[in-house]
């Protein structure tokens, strides 16, 4: 599953690289995966997609929507572009071959969607339609008033991590990008939302927009790869790459923990609970 910065980067690279390419071969579900989600029977994908031409791409949350004539291929997994003659991966959940000999492969890490949909078709899974309904954190509509509207009667008891990265409140904002957002806002992942002052809530809103904007502008994070297999240009402050290193602000060692089913990284000095 990719997150918003990588979806934005991949969508841009698809537009720059794949538009105009005609699909001549399709293999779906070659390597079955328990958490690979398709629209209908993946065995039907070749019949649906062969002969279609890539005409555009957008991102919604952590989903890349590739337009192939009247169809949409919606992908929320890592993607890799292969030039003519380049070896393709032996294991993949979706492989598209193009007329010029290049190809696009998709390989799931943990889980992900690989949907082939008609223009007006609504998938069984809610994540993608929900992401299309809600404004991007980079959009003007995503203002402080909107951010406040994401709170309801349940959110006061939630931690900052749970508020930001669960229930698709902000589609595409997951446990990965969460780390630097909370470090920049000087908030511990376990801090309860009802413990935040008005100033801290406003700072959290500003940080969500600012950090995600930087990650997208710099081509994704250095913990992930883009369409060409290159790591992103955004240097993560808190991630598997920086565990145990000094906090760039105070010098304390960055700590790794486990919380709400996933890893958390934090500075014990700058992000006191």
Kindly give the confidence (pLDDT) of every residue in the chain, 273 residues in length, as a single tens digit, with 9 standing for 90 and above.
899 999 999 999 999 999 999 999 999 999 999 999 999 999 999 999 999 999 999 999 999 999 999 999 999 999 999 999 999 999 999 999 999 999 999 999 889 999 999 988 888 888 899 999 999 999 999 999 999 999 988 899 999 999 999 988 999 999 999 999 999 999 999 999 999 999 999 999 999 999 999 999 999 999 999 999 999 999 999 999 999 999 999 999 999 999 998 999 999 999 998
Which stretches does DSSP call E strand in 87-206? 94-98, 103-106, 112-118
3-state DSSP: the chain helix, strand, coil percent, rounded to 5? 30, 25, 45
Report pLDDT for 58: 98
Going by C-alpha positions, the residue among 201, 210, 208, 175 that lies closest to residue 189 is: 175
Per-domain residue ranges of the chain: 4-133, 144-266
Report pLDDT for 126: 83
Give the CATH number of domain 4-133. 3.20.190.10
Residue 125 tokens read as 């899974």
Report pLDDT for 210: 98
- Decide: 172 and 4 in contact? Cβ < 8 Å: yes
CA distance 260 to 190: 9
Report pLDDT for 41: 96
CA distance 223 to 235: 8
Angle formed at CA 35 by CA 109 and CA 39, multiple of 5 degrees: 115
DSSP 3-state of 49:
helix
Other C-beta atoms lying within 10 Å of the C-beta of residue 66: 24
CA distance 14 to 36: 21
- Close Cβ partners of 91 (under 8 Å, ≥ 6 residues apart): 30, 31, 107
Matching CATH number, 144-266, of 1.10.8.50, 2.60.40.420, 3.30.300.30, 2.30.110.10: 1.10.8.50
- Decide: 45 and 79 in contact? Cβ < 8 Å: no
Residue 57 tokens read as 């791409």
Q: What pTM was estimated for this model as a whole?
A: 0.95
Virtual CA dihedral for 270, 211, 233, 87, nearest 10 degrees? 110
Q: How many CA atoms lie within 13 A of 198 on its CB side?
A: 1
């Amino acid at each position: 599953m990719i997150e918003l910065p990588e979806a934005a980067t991949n969508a841009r690279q698809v537009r720059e690289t794949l538009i105009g390419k005609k699909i001549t071969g399709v293999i779906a579900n070659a390597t079955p995966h328990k958490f690979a989600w398709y629209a209908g029977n993946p065995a039907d994908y070749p019949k649906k997609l062969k002969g279609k031409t890539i005409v555009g791409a957008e991102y919604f949350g952590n989903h890349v929507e590739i337009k192939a004539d009247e169809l949409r291929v919606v992908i929320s997994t890592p993607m890799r572009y292969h030039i003519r003659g380049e070896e393709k991966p032996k294991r993949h959940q979706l492989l598209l071959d193009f007329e010029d000999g290049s190809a696009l492969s998709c390989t799931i890490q943990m889980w992900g969607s690989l949907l082939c949909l008609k223009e007006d078709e609504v998938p069984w899974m809610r994540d993608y339609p929900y992401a299309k309904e809600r404004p991007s954190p980079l959009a003007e509509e995503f203002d402080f008033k909107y951010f406040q509207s994401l709170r309801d009667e349940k959110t006061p008891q939630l931690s900052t991590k749970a508020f930001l990265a669960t229930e698709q409140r902000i589609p595409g904002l997951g446990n990965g990008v969460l780390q630097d957002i909370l470090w920049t806002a000087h908030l511990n992942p376990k801090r309860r939302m009802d413990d935040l002052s008005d100033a801290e809530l406003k700072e959290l809103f500003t940080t969500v927009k600012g950090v995600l904007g930087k990650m997208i502008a710099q081509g994704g994070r250095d913990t992930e790869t883009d369409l060409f297999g290159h790591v992103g240009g955004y240097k993560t402050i808190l991630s598997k790459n920086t565990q145990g290193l000094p906090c760039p602000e105070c010098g304390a060692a960055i700590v790794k923990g486990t919380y709400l089913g996933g890893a958390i990284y934090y500075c014990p000095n700058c992000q006191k609970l």
